[in-house]
Every structure is written in C-alpha cells, then in structure tokens.
Amino acid sequence: MKTLITFIISLILSFFVSKAQANSSLKANFKTGDPGITSIHKMTFGPEGILFIGDSNTAQIIAIDLSAHPKVDNSKVKLDQLDKLISDMMGTTIDQIQITDMVVNPENNNIYLSINHSSGVPILLRVVDNVLKQVPLDNVSHSKTALQNAVSEEAKDRRGRKLRKWAVADLKYTEGKILLSGLSNQEFASTFRSIDFPFSDKQASSSLEIYHAAHGKYETHAPIKTFIPTKINGDSHIVAGYTCTPLVVFPMNEIKPGKHHKGRTVAELGSGNSPVDMIEIENEGNRYLLIANSNRPLMKMDFKDLAAYKDSLTTPVTKKGAAEGVDYVNLPYVNVQQLDKLGDGFIIIQRESNGNLALKTGNSWWVK
C-alpha cells in the first residue's frame, strides 16, 4: 500500500513539475492562429524547434513552433531542378518564384526553404525524404513582435529601388536574444538590433559605421547583409559581411543600445559582389568561416587568421575586384545561392554549370 501511495504522489509531483516547466518555456506566450506573415526574407532557428521569420513587408519578427517535426536523416539529401519542383508544386512557372532563404533546424536536421511568389503569398517548404512538403502558415502556434523605427515603406535608394526589404537583412538567435541587422528610419540607417525572447516591448538598437575599402569612404547607410555571432580570442563578436564586399568585426561588448559604433574592417573580399550567407564550421578542433557570394565562389577563412589579424583597412582598395586583409581560400563551389550548416558539414543550393538548380550537401573534405 505504501508503495502505491508513493507512486501516486510521484505522478502528481511529475504532473506539476511538467506543468511548471511548460509555463516557463520559451513558448509559454504562444497562441495558435494566423500570424499574418506577408513575406519571408530571412529565417533562423532557436531552441525548442522555434523558427524565427523576418517579415520585412510588415517589419515584424514571427516565431513559430515547428517542434512537432521529427528528427530526420538528411545526410544524403539531393534535389535536382529545385526551381521546377517548387514551381510545379505551386502551379506556376519558375520566373514567378524566388527562394529567399534556407535554414536547417540543428536539433533534428530538418531543412526548410522559404519561397516568395509573384502573387505576394509567402510559402514555407520542408524536405522530407527528398520530397518537398508545404508547411501551413495560417494556423500555427506563434508569437511575434513589430520592429521599432523600421525603414519606411516609401523609402528608396538613389537608384529608386525600395528599401523596405532591408527592414530585416539578417537575423540570428543567441543566448535568449534575436540579433538582427537591417535599415531603420534614423539618420544613420544601418542598424543592429537586439530583441529579447520571449518577446517584450523592449528593443535595443545601435547605429553602425564601417570603412568601405572598395568605395574608399566611411558609410552608415548600407545594412549588414549577413552575419554570425561568434567568439574571437575568447570574446563575443559579430562577424559581418556587406555588399561590395567588406568583412567587418564588431565586439559585442562595445555595441551599446542607442549608441553609434564603428566596426573594424578586416578584409575586402572583392568589389562587384554581395555576401549571401555565412556560417561557422568546425573540423578536428579547427574553426572556419564559410561565405557564400553572389558573384564569387564559396570562400573559406580560418578563424586563426581572423583572430591574428589586428589591423583595420582604412585606405581605398582601388584595383577592381581585388582582395585585401585576412586571407581566404576559394572553394570549388560557384553560384551558391543559399548556405547553412547540416550536422558537422554544410548544405547548399547551387546553380550548377549545366543550369540545374540543386539542393545538396557540400563535401566536408574541403573544410579542413
């Protein structure tokens, strides 16, 4: 009898502990319904299967719960004619779709693609056994927050192009915060935000300035196109890539809310180019930075070289397409349109020489 009573008490305690843990979860404030996603410009994963979506059209960050998707083995994933597969799914043509991002959930290796259709309807796809499956977005468990002082919907650059899509240029989750680069409506438009998660009304933002060696001047308007939070010599930094193509480091402890901060330009990777994605890879105790580009091959930079470089580029690089600063290696992957980590390796979307758009894993032999 005593054993039975002890068992019942244990069950009751387990129930209340589980309930308390659920209430303290990052998803405690989530609600189920339509989050009103109008565009997907960038995505990143946090813990507990939470996907963060940057919706530049509405200048919002939406967190959705995808934890129900089981762990999968995508180590041999290969999808050819990806653009045709997607357009056929949507009953349209290739020229009517755009793959805006690709992310991998590090907890279960699920691969997700975001698609913007010419109709304006955003689509989220998941790779299941080398088949694309649509993930519904109209009735999901979610939470969201609006960006403060986002670049206006009417703002245009000097060429007349709308700037609103850069409300969210890139975003990452780290240590209970969403880190986000983009443009604001402030005097110094290039902005770096830190947003607490679970979401609250509190948002910290800083304006940024860099020396753009290919342009030969300091700039405060261009957004960080892609970045990673990382450690350099044991301290937290942001490594950031800009168009045309400066690589800049920002010590996290120097980025203060409401303050203007000048980054240290450590490399010029070649003008006439824009960074697409950036990831950190580790192999046999060595760390490498991989950078996918619009008009350059996939680049590999050793973190030892990055950490050892103490200088800052402050004079113009006048030779077109020339590189200066921290050394890097060009890997034999060109036309890489999307890049992310997959397990200990990486996965890419690449336009191959025969025109085939392929979703495939990269050869880890090169990351040594």
User: Which DSSP letter does residue 103 get?
Assistant: E
Give the pairing type, strands 122-128 and 111-117: antiparallel
> Can you give the pTM of this predicted structure?
0.91
Instruction: Domain count for the chain, please give it.
Output: 2
List of residues 6+ apart from 45 with CB closer than 8 A: 51, 52, 103, 104, 105, 106, 107, 173
pLDDT of residue 20: 36
129, 185: one domain? no
Per-residue pLDDT at 16 exceeds 80:
no
Mapped onto helix, strand or coil, the DSSP state of residue 5 is helix
Confirm whether 367 is domain-assigned.
Answer: no
171, 280: one domain? yes
- Identify residue 136 by its one-letter amino acid code: P
As a whole number, mean pLDDT of residues 305-329 equals: 96
40, 67: one domain? yes
276, 180: one domain? yes
Distance CA 290, CA 295 (A): 15
Distance CA 359, CA 204 (A): 36
Distance CA 169, CA 182 (A): 5
Side-by-side strand order, sheet with 345-351: 78-79, 357-361, 345-351, 336-342
312, 259: one domain? yes
203, 92: one domain? no
166, 314: one domain? yes
Range from 9-18, 98-107, 179-188, 278-287 carrying the lowest mean pLDDT:
9-18
Which residue, of 146, 163, 186, is where some domain finishes? 146
174, 213: one domain? yes
pLDDT of residue 25: 87
Per-residue pLDDT at 21 exceeds 80:
no
Range of the domain at 136: 35-146
Give, in degrees to the nearest 5, the angle at Cα 261 between 255 and 266: 95
pLDDT of residue 303: 97
